Structure 1
């Protein structure tokens, strides 16, 4: 099970979270990654935690002011990237371009989608993983694994019907070890979460609770 913590633009200390994630990962044996803002990628990567970008654009080197180049985040220490998060939606053609850009820079890719139908569509683009995240549950107190379990199992089936090699992650409302365990029981091989760790008074304690059922 992969636990990917998205720090979004929350007012947290990215290095503190990254250090906690690195330590908890080593102690538990659970794979944990941290998706940080571009400006924080190098500092987060220096902690040794698995570091992810929050987005890359479908561009190459050139005149692209204000865009995120895959090679740049890779050079900063990112090993993977989210694409098409619900808070930064892209057209299908641009998702395809972003996946190709990430692959060019040797970045692992996770493409987010709102529902099983979209999961099937983005799986066809050949990312390493996809994540189902109903927008109405993002940032809430109810996880998709418990509040809408059918959407997780349907997403897993939709992805498998297109490409069995693409991993399926579960996002939206994940905040406890029980949520992570439920996601796994529904067929997900990873979880995406944000506020449960980034907004926690004690990020390490929050991470320890998340991985406790997996250790």
Structure 2
């Protein structure tokens, strides 16, 4: 079970959470990764935690001021990237170009989508994984596995063999177990750890059932 913690732009200490994630991953054997802000990728990667970019731009080297170059996040220590998160939507052509940029840089990829129909379209672009995240549930503490389990099972079917992560509202160990039973190979979460009063306790409780 893969646990990817997206720090978004929350006012947390990315190095502290990365250090906690490293400790918990080593103690439990659970694969845990952190997706910090682009400017924090290097310092987070230096903790030894698996580090992901929150986004890469669908561009190559060139005149692209303000873009996040895939090769740059790779040099900083990222090993993967999210694409098309519900808070940073892309056109289909840009998702495809972003995937090709990530491939050039040797980055693993997860394409996010809202529902099984979008998951099917994303999977056809051949990312390493897809993540289903109904926007209405993001940050609510109510996981999609509880609110509408069929979204997960239908997404697994629609992905045609591409691994599926379950996102939106994930916050407890029970949520991880439910996602796994529905066929998800991992979870994507944010506030459940990044905004917790005690991130270490929150992350330990999250992975304990695994």
Q: TM-score, normalised by structure 2?
A: 0.99
Is the aligned partner of 1:189 residue 2:182?
A: no
Counterpart of 1:170 in structure 2 is 166
Q: Give 3-state SS (helix, strand or coil) of 1:180's partner.
A: helix
Counterpart of 1:180 in structure 2 is 176
Q: Distance in 1 between matches of 2:183 and 2:120?
A: 15
Counterpart of 1:154 in structure 2 is 154
Q: Give 3-state SS (helix, strand or coil) of 1:74's partner.
A: helix
For 1:1-215, what aligned pairs fall within 5 Å after superposition? Answer: 1-160=1-160, 164=161, 166-214=162-210
Q: CA deviation at 1:196?
A: 0.2
Gaps of 5+ in 2: none
Moved over 4 A (4+): none
Q: Distance in 2 between matches of 1:15 and 1:140?
A: 25
When the two chains are superposed, the root-mean-square deviation of aligned CA atoms in Å is 0.5
Q: CA deviation at 1:32?
A: 0.2
Q: CA deviation at 1:43?
A: 0.4
Q: CA deviation at 1:202?
A: 1.0
Q: Distance in 1 between matches of 2:82 and 2:141?
A: 22
Q: Provide, for residues 8-44 of structure 1, a one-character-per-residue CA deviation record: whole Å limited to 9, x for no partner.
A: 0000000000000000000000000000100100000
Q: Distance in 1 between matches of 2:43 and 2:189?
A: 21
Q: Provide, for residues 58-104 of structure 1, a one-character-per-residue CA deviation record: whole Å limited to 9, x for no partner.
A: 10001000111000000000000000000000000000000010011
Q: TM-score, normalised by structure 1?
A: 0.97
Q: Give 3-state SS (helix, strand or coil) of 2:159's partner.
A: helix
What is the count of residue pairs matched by the alignment?
210
Q: Distance in 2 between matches of 1:193 and 1:141?
A: 10
Q: CA deviation at 1:190?
A: 0.4
Gaps of 5+ in 1: none
